[in-house]
Amino acid sequence: MLDPALFERNMLAIASTHPVSSAERLRAAIADTRLGMDVARDGSPVPYMDYGGRRGYLHSRVDPAHEAERLAAQYDSSGFYVFLGLGAGYLARAILNADRLSRGIIVEYRAGTLRALLERLDLTRVLADRRLCLLVDPDPDELGRAIMERYVPAVSGDLITVPLASRVNAESERFQQAAGVVRSVLARVSDDYSVQAFFGKRWFANIVRNLRSAAGATPPVGPIREAAVTAAGPSLENSLEELAARPRGRFLIATDTSLCAITSGGIIPDAVVSIDCQHISYYHFMGGIPADVPLFLDLASPPTLARLVKQPYFFTSGHPLARYVASRLRAFPQLDTSGGNVTHAAVSLAEYLGASTVDVYGADFSYPLGKSYARGTYIYSYFDIRQSRTTPQEGLFADFLFRNQALKRQADDAKSFRYLTKPLEAYLERLERLAEGSATTIRRHRKQGAPSRTDYPGAVARAPAPARMGRMFAAGRSFQSPEKFLSSYLSDLQALPAPPRSGKASEAALYLDGLEAESRDVWTTLLPAVAAFRREAGAGPSSGKRVLSDTREWSVEVVREELKALS
């Protein structure tokens, strides 16, 4: 006989930590009458599904707990676990007991089947663990969002999928779809994490050191009706005449990489954009910036760039510290830099300013005929200095191109070809997505670059973009001075509870989950730097023990040094 109180105990555990949608779907479901219970040889309960007289057991009929421990031993990495199927919870409990789980998601399909389980088994030990999130009958978007919201690689560790064979086989199509979602999210997150691991510390330090330059007043820019964007691909050389003859009123935005190439041709842009946090970006400005041309900088750009002009125009992107600054120091305009390249950011600026159409030149997203950049860009002068009789400039360009072992050759005909790389292909795909979701018509002048859905002419026909209500690029008023903001931020960093020193992903995740909202916000500003510290620590068994504490100590020192410089 079923015990109604058992189901309610399980539901109470679900209500305490899991999404409301899961509880609602379970309460609305009718218990699956095919589910039955048996007893294993060791006396443990084993659920089964009755498939017309044939029983499909969800776990071992001998010793399900021992079987789960054996399977759990195969997962020896600490990390974020996605359980495809719950069953009676034996496998999930074994992995929880092994203390290798930082956070996790349980995916279960058929709410009626899960309800029947919850009416017969006490699963509160698993369901009450606040590291876990139960998703019942999620669609792909819901599952993807749940992973993205909860998985923080710098803290959570690896992303690991754990299939429960009996459930996956019973609902193969839906669980295969779920596994595909996990792979897709992992690919996206891995790219972001790799960038954070290399640049997380530099982003943080640059943002802190740029605040003094970001406090000044700047005259507003915009709105605009039409825009042109120049990237630094080789095809830019064939577009200079067209750009020089552009209609009056077409606002020309130069990426930092293309600036020297167009100014050497006598073309003066209306704005310049730079997003690279590395000091090498200074090379793009060795020829100087034309007078009175506004320079738009990501708040994480090198401070040396901000000093090149009297009034730099700062914007924020997705960095958590930049968002924190915007909410507490000054509301800067936000541009889309998710494309990972400055051309994407320049198009976003044109969109922000209200352009109905944006013509993009030099965005080849490939190496046409094996050529890397347009003449006049910094790399030519850079290689010119470094060439010798035994290593000519052509050889340096060839080495630059063929250092990439994953080059892919793409040909249009016998005379036209280009080399592609995965990063360049990804940049192009992101620009296509930006164009498809934008109210602005984005027209890419392809020349010999990689083909895309944004090419002009030749793009899919669409109605002319209507005139848009433009807006001005202007930072909001300052809520406080940089000194006061940094002093407050320093106090908040120093007041953070001491992080665990064990290096266990589970303890780090529980530490962050247990913080008050304000402390969690402060820690979030440090997560890209945490990724950088974790990369520097390596992959040894004790490498990550002090990552959180080292990150906090380092950030405190960076802020303290900047406060000294401001005093």
% of the chain surpassing 90 pLDDT: 68
Structure tokens, 53:
């007289």
The pTM of this model reads 0.86
pLDDT for res 380: 85
Task: Specify the amino acid at residue 167.
Answer: R
pLDDT on residue 333: 94
DSSP state of 403: T
Evaluate whether 135 touches 146 at the Cβ level (below 8 Å): yes
Residue 261 has pLDDT above 90, yes or no: yes
| CA distances in angstroms from 142 to 134, 162, 181, 182, listed in the order given | 12, 19, 10, 12
Q: How confident is the model at residue 530, as a pLDDT? A: 93
What's the pLDDT at 541?
Answer: 41
Proportion of the chain in helix, strand, coil states, percent, rounded to 5: 45, 15, 40
pLDDT recorded at residue 512 = 84
Report the pLDDT value the prediction gives residue 154, as an integer from 0 to 100: 84
Q: Give the C-alpha distances (Å, rounded to integers) separating 533 from 206, 332, 459, 490, 543.
A: 16, 28, 44, 20, 10
pLDDT in tens, 427-484: 999 999 999 999 899 999 988 888 888 887 644 444 555 556 668 899 888 999 999 9
| Contact criterion met (CB below 8 Å) for 138 and 108 | no
pLDDT per residue as tens digits for the range 495-539: 999 888 766 677 787 888 888 999 999 999 999 999 999 888 875
- Residue 473 is encoded by which pair of tokens? 């690029």
Counted residue by residue, the chain has a size of: 567
255 beta partners: 273
User: What one-letter code names the amino acid at 91?
Assistant: L
Rounded to whole angstroms, the Cα distance separating 518 from 328 reads 13
Distances (CA, A) of 5 to 11, 45, 113, 124, 559: 10, 18, 18, 12, 55
The pLDDT assigned to 461 comes to 43
Please state the rounded mean pLDDT for residues 142-162. 92
- What is the phi/psi pair of residue 487, to 5°? -65, -45
Q: What is the pLDDT of residues 341-371, one digit of tens each?
A: 999 999 999 999 999 999 999 999 999 988 9
Q: Which of 346, 250, 246 is nearest to 296 (CA)?
A: 346
Mean pLDDT of 105-127: 96
Evaluate whether 255 touches 335 at the Cβ level (below 8 Å). Answer: no
Q: Mean pLDDT throughout 215-230?
A: 93
Mapped onto helix, strand or coil, the DSSP state of residue 255 is: strand
What is the predicted pLDDT for the residue at 119?
96
How confident is the model at residue 538, as a pLDDT? 73
| Backbone dihedral angles phi then psi of residue 272, each to the nearest 5 degrees | -130, 140
Distance CA 546, CA 500 (A): 8
Lowest mean pLDDT among 61-65, 418-422, 554-558: 418-422
Output the pLDDT for position 186.
Answer: 92
* C-beta separation of 257 from 356 below 8 A: no
Give Dmax (Cα) for the chain.
91
